[in-house]
Amino acid sequence: MTPERAQKFRVAAIGECMVEISNKAGGASVAFGGDTLNTALYMARLGGDVFYFTVLGDDPYSDEMIAAWQAEGIHTEHVRRKPGSVPGLYAIHTTADGERSFHYWRDSSPVRGMFRGADGKVTAENLKGFDAYYFSGITLSVFDDPQRDKLLDIMKHEREKGATVVFDPNYRTAGWPDIDAARRYFDRAHALATISLPTLDDERKLYPGIAAAEAAARLIELGAGEVVLKTGNNGCLIKTPAQELIVPVPVAVSPVDTTAAGDSFNAAYLHARLQGKDMESAARAAHRLASIVIQHTGAIISRSAMSELCARKEA
């Protein structure tokens, strides 16, 4: 399959990548993962011009991460290194039906000080001027309040300048001191987002019993320009101030591992929208990639597994 030549939009993805341990038959495997990194990588494979912003240590695992990202075509010049530090660690436990749970060891991760001090000011300055920005609720959760405020201020400024700001709440209770703090910062992020990419399961953790239509409408009322609510096997509900549509999953598949299902969906949706595709076409592309990803173990599947969707790099 020969891909169309893609117009290049510079996308800044902001967040944390950790060492990933996942259970497999016969033992465990070690890889690297993180929600925004997963999305950045899949976007790069689709032909996106993606820059990753994070902080790593000076350890061999951090070296391997950067080498792997560069091999995937992700720009790493804005990845900071903190001497004497190591990245966070998480383990994925997957059940027989493909559902997963997470366990984290990340309290001393160097990304937690990403916007502090002189280095933090440099990072904030380097974040300016991109065509699109992608961050998540997990991104927000690793920072303290002053750093969260700083990141949201940058996003507000860039949206006002015309950039596309994309937010996936991706709520993890362990990352927040209480649910009210998560709700408060998520609402601020949705209010300044051009595109919001929530998941119905996460919205119901934040607002128990909320219906899909109600959840999407609430985010539009906050100020989100375009809400794409992922609802699992039921597809996605897309809502803007002017319209609403449901895009079903084209073909139901039996998942092997649902890790990065949402991250890969986000990558394909955002890439398609930046290329000028309409919302329905973008959602169908997102469903296609996510359906491939969940039929493999781990957050990052092999290039060969998604070869028909990967764009070739143009010279």
Strand order in the sheet with 49-56: 79-81, 49-56, 10-14, 132-136, 164-168, 195-196, 226-230, 236-239, 244-247
| Phi and psi, residue 35, nearest 5° | -60, -50
Q: By C-alpha distance, which of 79, 95, 78, 76 is closest to 87?
A: 79
Contact 143, 123 (CB under 8 A): no
Which of 35, 59, 263, 278 does the annotation list as catalytic?
263
Task: Give catalytic status of residue 263 as yes or no.
Answer: yes
Contact 292, 27 (CB under 8 A): no
Q: How far is CA 21 from CA 71, 98, 172, in A?
A: 21, 16, 18
Catalytic residues: 263
